Amino acid sequence: MDTVLKRGTRRWTMLSSKVSNGFRKINLLQINPSVAILKGLNFTLPATPLTDMSDPSSHHPTCVHVNLEAFRHNIRCVRSYCGESVRIMAIVKANAYGHGVVKLCRVAIAEGVEYLGVARAEEALEIRREGIDHPVLVFEITPGNHVAAALSENIELTIAEPGAADAISATAAKLGKSARVHLKVDTGMGRLGLPFASAPAVIEEILRRPHLELVSVYSHFATSEEPDTSFAREQLSRFRQVLDDLGKRRIEVPIRHMANSGAVICMPEAHFEMVRPGIMLYGYPPARNLSEHFPVRPVMSLVSKVSMIKQVEAGTPVSYGRRYVAPRRTFIATVPAGYADGFPRLLTGRASALIRGERYPVAGTICMDHIMVDLGERTGCEVGDEVTLIGKSGAQSITAWDIAGTIGTIPYEITSLIPPRVRRVFKDS
């Protein structure tokens, strides 16, 4: 007899288990060591799980559709801006801006992208665990306890201050290898990097340390997507001065990179040997009204399905706080998607949803797991109809910029905050 469950001093012991007509019949005996047998228990369960997760129909209806062909198109747009001689570092931090990092890394590599860029060592290690052996750079200052793991997996690290150089050099020495490093210069972002005025001398001093292989010197724009490019050009001038000074010190810089999505589109003089597109890969220019010679296409759609429809009378309140009261007899659809699925509660009273190519207002407070939609006095909608919260339905569309503009943020935040509980479904069209 095998013990199958313990709870406190009690043990459940399986006496028998057999399958009959698709059901498993189980006979359990509950034993208390101090009292001997207390009671027996018989019950019947389905022989297979009630939910077969290999069956798409068993999945939760709220999911993200990721259009891989749109992603490929956007990579080609970057190539069109930069030419074939400029390398592309695809920025795939934060789960590829919420889209699904492993799959999109594979697609990007197949499209010829030369580098991957992530924020944290953990993100790079996840990529390596999935068998992706491609150059990847970590942008943050990597904590000392993660340096060895990163270097062991041939992950390239940023040095933004001398202390990081010490830790990386020492760890590389212990591992008996060279660390491939990228030195970051702060030209005006004010976040990470060596101060531009002293950067050449500090870089020269850093490179005296053993076991460091210089791969690149880079910086980051703060305002490259804005109509007034004066500060971006000042940053570029500072970066060029650092590079010139390094040249005078006979320090060869294999790769120079500075261009984010805004500079890819607007500042060809900043492309250097490599560019770092982020949000444009996922289908959005970094500023809403930015003119694009090669327009990108949104990659993500956020969809669910109608789970219930009911008719309510005029004056009926809907959702928390009774913020919405039906102005007339109307049909209300309940949809199992809410702010825990990445549909912000700040949209309350200002959101819409698309069903069968028509736009309907979201009624009442957005809940953690649900929204309600006012379908009007007459409706052809049915339970099971697809509901689009981001994306297209017929001639109608809702973009991440539409949502971001409504609540005063940017599309980066909208896509990145869709949590792991929302399944990603990858499609080629």
Which residues are the active-site residues?
A: 93, 320
Nearest to 274 by CA among 78, 103, 72: 78
For residue 135, what are the CA distances in angstroms to 22, 96, 181, 272? 51, 16, 12, 18
**Residue 248 class from Cβ within 10 Å (0-12 exposed, 13-18 middle, 19+ buried)?**
exposed
Separation of CA 416 from chain center? 4
Distance CA 256, CA 15 (A): 70
Q: Within 10 Å of residue 2's Cβ, how many Cβ atoms?
A: 7
User: Distance from CA of residue 193 to its chain's centroid?
Assistant: 25
Residue 54 CB partners (closer than 8 Å, separation 6+) = none
